[in-house]
C-alpha cells in the first residue's frame, strides 16, 4: 500500500468530487462520506492522528490548498473544509502549535476573493433588510403545535420545531449542544458553534416551555443515538452528522413554509424567525440594541455585532390580532388575498381558506367554489369549507 503522502500527491489535480471520493475509497475503504470533500476531511484527520512529521504536514497543507478549491462547489464549501481541517489540527497539536500557524499561512482562502464575497454579502443583507420575508405567526405556531402533537415526529420535524423555539443552529440541536432548564420559559445552552468567546448562552424559548422543549430534544437525540455513539467513539464528527441531515431538514422546511416567498426558506431563516419573535416579545429595548440582543441569544462572537444585522431580515405578521383586523376592515383595498401554500402539508389548509374568504368578503368579492379554487385550493377542501360556512 502506498503512503498517504504519495497518495495525496497523486490526487492533487483532481477536479471532480465523485472522482476524489472513489480515490479515497480505494485508498481507505473505511471512509465513505456523502461527498468527496467530506471524505477528504475525514481521511486527513485520521492520518494526522496516526502521526505525521512537520515537513509532511506542510506539504499536505500545500496540496490541500490546491485540491480543495478545485473540487468545492462554492467558496463557502472551501472555507468550511479549511475550517474543519484546522479544527482537527488544533485538537491534535494544540491551538498554539506552530503547525496551527502554518495551517493559516499555507492553506489560505484567496483574500481578494474573500473581500469580494464579503462585499456581496453585505449588499445582500442591505437588500434583504429593505425587502423582508414575511411569515404569519399563525403558520409558525401552527407548525410547532402540529409537530409537538405528533406521536412519532421525524428527526427533521423535531429539528424544525426545536430551532423555531430556541434559535439554535441545526448542528447544535442535532448533537453538539447541551441544554438545561433555567426557568419555565428559559434554557441554558452549553457548547456553541462558531463563537470562541462564549461557553454558554441563555435562551428565552418561543412557544414551548422548557419542559416541552427538553422532552422533544430527548426524542430527537434518542433517534440520533447511533450517530451520537459514533461521535463519542471518534468515528464520526458533529459536522458530518449535521451535513448529512441538512438537505432533508431544508426540504421539510420548504414543505411547511414556502409558497409566496419562492421556495427560499431554510433552517437559517428559522433562526431569523426565532430572533424576530424573541426580540419583539422578551428584549428590554430601552437597555439593549437589537444587534446586541440577537448576538447574545443566537451565540455570535461578542465582537461580531455586524453578523447579527443579517438576522433582521424577516418580519412576523400577527394576523390574529383584533386591532389588525380592524385596520384591515378600514383599508380593504390594501389587502393581498392569501393563496394556498402549494405542496405544503401542515394541516392548516382550512385556516388558510378561511383567511382567504374573510379578506375576499372585506373587499366585497364573491366567495364561492370557483373563486376559492382560483386561489390554488383543492376541490375537496373548498367543498368542505363551503359546507360549513
161 and 310 belong to one structural domain: yes
86 and 196 belong to one structural domain: no
Residue at 124 is within a domain:
no
Comparing 18-22, 154-158, 277-281, 314-318, the range with the smallest average pLDDT is: 314-318
C-beta of residue 168 within 8 angstroms of C-beta of residue 189: yes
pLDDT tens digits for range 322-331: 444 454 455 5
CA distance 49 to 301: 29
Residue at 122 is within a domain:
no
194 and 309 belong to one structural domain: yes
Domain count, the chain: 3
Is pTM, for the whole model, over 0.95? no
Q: What confidence score (pLDDT) does residue 323 get? A: 45
User: Residue 86 contacts by C-beta under 8 Å, 6 or more apart in sequence?
Assistant: 100, 103, 104, 107
Residue at 15 is within a domain:
yes
Cα angle for residues 311, 312, 317 (degrees, 5° grid):
120
C-beta of residue 377 within 8 angstroms of C-beta of residue 347: no
Beta strands in 54-139 (DSSP E): 133-136
Q: CA of 67: how far to CAs of 2, 9, 64, 77, 104, in Å? A: 19, 10, 5, 12, 16
CA distance 72 to 80: 10
Residue at 128 is within a domain:
no
Looking at per-residue confidence, does 46 or 340 come out higher? 46
C-beta of residue 42 within 8 angstroms of C-beta of residue 31: yes
Could you tell me which of 354, 135, 131 has the C-alpha nearest to residue 253?
A: 135
Host domain of residue 212: 133-317
pLDDT tens digits for range 231-274: 998 888 888 899 899 999 998 998 888 654 444 788 989 999 99
User: Residue 81 contacts by C-beta under 8 Å, 6 or more apart in sequence?
Assistant: 37, 40, 41, 68, 72
Residue at 117 is within a domain:
no
For the record, the C-alpha cell of 182 comes out as 433555567
44 and 164 belong to one structural domain: no
Q: What crossing angle do the helices spanning 111-129 and 75-93 adopt, rounded to 10°? A: 120
Q: Rounded mean pLDDT of 345-353? A: 75
57 and 150 belong to one structural domain: no
Q: What confidence score (pLDDT) does residue 129 get? A: 56
For the record, the C-alpha cell of 46 comes out as 485520521
How many beta carbons lie within 10 A of that of residue 113, not counting itself? 12
Residue at 313 is within a domain:
yes
The radius of gyration of the chain from alpha carbons, rounded to an integer in Å, stands at 25
25 and 85 belong to one structural domain: yes
Confidence of residue 368 (pLDDT cuts 50, 70, 90): confident
pLDDT tens digits for range 168-219: 999 999 999 999 999 999 999 999 887 666 789 999 999 899 999 999 999 9
Looking at per-residue confidence, does 175 or 118 come out higher? 175
349 and 309 belong to one structural domain: no
Q: What confidence score (pLDDT) does residue 6 get? A: 92
Q: Using CA atoms of 60, 61, 62, 67 in order, give the dihedral in degrees to the nearest 10.
A: 90
Residue 367 has pLDDT above 60, yes or no: yes
Comparing 1-10, 30-39, 200-209, 315-324, the range with the smallest average pLDDT is: 315-324
142 and 262 belong to one structural domain: yes
Among 109, 141, 164, the domain-final residue is 109
Instruction: Give buried/exposed letters for 136-156 (b at 16+ CB in 10 A, else e).
Output: bbbbbebbbebbbeeeebebb
Looking at per-residue confidence, does 288 or 229 come out higher? 229
DSSP code of 117?
Answer: H
Among 94, 109, 124, the domain-final residue is 109
331 and 268 belong to one structural domain: no
Could you tell me which of 274, 53, 59, 260 has the C-alpha nearest to residue 161?
A: 274
221 and 329 belong to one structural domain: no
150 and 295 belong to one structural domain: yes
- Judged by DSSP in three states, 203 sits in strand
Residue corresponding to grid cell 405578521: 317
Residue corresponding to grid cell 485520521: 46
307 and 359 belong to one structural domain: no
Residue 114 has pLDDT above 80, yes or no: no
Looking at per-residue confidence, does 322 or 10 come out higher? 10
Residue at 301 is within a domain:
yes
Amino acid at each position: 500500500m502506498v503512503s498517504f503522502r504519495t497518495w495525496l500527491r497523486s490526487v492533487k489535480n483532481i477536479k471532480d468530487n465523485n472522482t476524489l471520493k472513489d480515490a479515497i475509497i480505494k485508498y481507505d475503504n473505511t471512509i465513505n462520506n456523502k461527498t468527496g470533500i467530506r471524505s477528504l476531511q475525514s481521511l486527513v484527520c485520521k492520518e494526522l492522528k496516526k502521526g505525521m512529521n512537520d515537513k509532511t504536514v506542510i506539504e499536505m497543507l500545500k496540496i490541500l490548498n490546491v485540491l480543495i478549491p478545485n473540487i468545492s462547489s462554492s467558496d463557502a464549501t472551501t472555507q468550511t473544509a479549511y475550517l474543519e481541517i484546522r479544527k482537527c489540527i488544533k485538537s491534535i497539536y494544540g491551538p498554539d502549535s506552530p503547525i496551527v500557524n502554518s495551517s493559516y499561512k499555507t492553506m489560505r482562502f484567496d483574500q481578494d476573493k474573500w473581500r469580494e464575497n464579503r462585499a456581496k454579502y453585505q449588499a445582500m443583507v442591505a437588500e434583504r433588510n429593505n425587502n423582508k420575508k414575511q411569515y404569519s405567526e399563525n403558520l409558525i405556531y401552527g407548525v410547532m403545535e402540529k409537530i409537538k402533537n405528533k406521536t412519532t415526529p421525524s428527526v427533521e420535524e423535531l429539528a424544525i420545531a426545536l430551532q423555531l423555539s430556541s434559535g439554535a443552529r441545526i448542528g447544535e440541536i442535532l448533537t453538539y449542544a447541551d441544554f438545561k432548564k433555567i426557568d419555565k420559559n428559559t434554557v441554558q445552552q452549553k457548547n456553541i458553534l462558531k463563537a470562541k468567546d462564549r461557553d454558554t448562552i441563555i435562551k428565552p424559548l418561543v412557544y414551548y416551555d422548557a419542559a416541552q422543549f427538553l422532552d422533544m430534544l430527548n426524542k430527537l437525540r434518542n433517534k440520533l443515538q447511533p450517530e451520537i455513539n459514533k461521535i463519542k467513539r471518534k468515528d464520526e464528527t458533529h459536522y458530518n452528522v449535521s451535513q448529512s441531515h441538512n438537505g432533508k431538514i431544508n426540504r421539510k422546511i420548504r414543505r411547511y413554509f414556502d409558497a409566496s416567498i419562492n421556495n427560499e426558506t431554510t433552517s437559517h431563516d428559522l433562526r431569523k424567525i426565532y430572533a424576530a419573535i424573541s426580540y419583539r416579545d422578551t428584549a428590554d429595548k430601552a437597555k439593549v440594541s437589537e444587534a446586541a440582543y440577537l448576538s447574545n441569544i443566537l451565540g455570535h462572537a461578542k465582537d461580531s455585532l455586524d453578523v447579527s444585522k443579517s438576522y433582521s431580515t424577516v418580519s412576523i405578521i400577527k394576523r390574529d390580532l383584533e386591532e389588525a383586523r380592524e385596520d384591515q376592515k378600514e383599508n380593504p383595498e390594501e389587502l393581498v388575498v392569501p393563496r394556498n401554500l402549494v405542496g405544503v402539508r401542515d394541516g392548516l389548509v382550512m385556516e388558510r381558506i378561511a383567511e382567504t374568504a374573510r379578506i375576499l368578503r372585506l373587499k366585497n368579492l364573491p366567495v364561492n367554489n370557483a373563486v376559492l379554487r382560483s386561489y390554488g385550493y383543492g376541490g375537496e377542501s373548498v367543498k368542505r369549507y363551503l359546507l360549513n360556512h
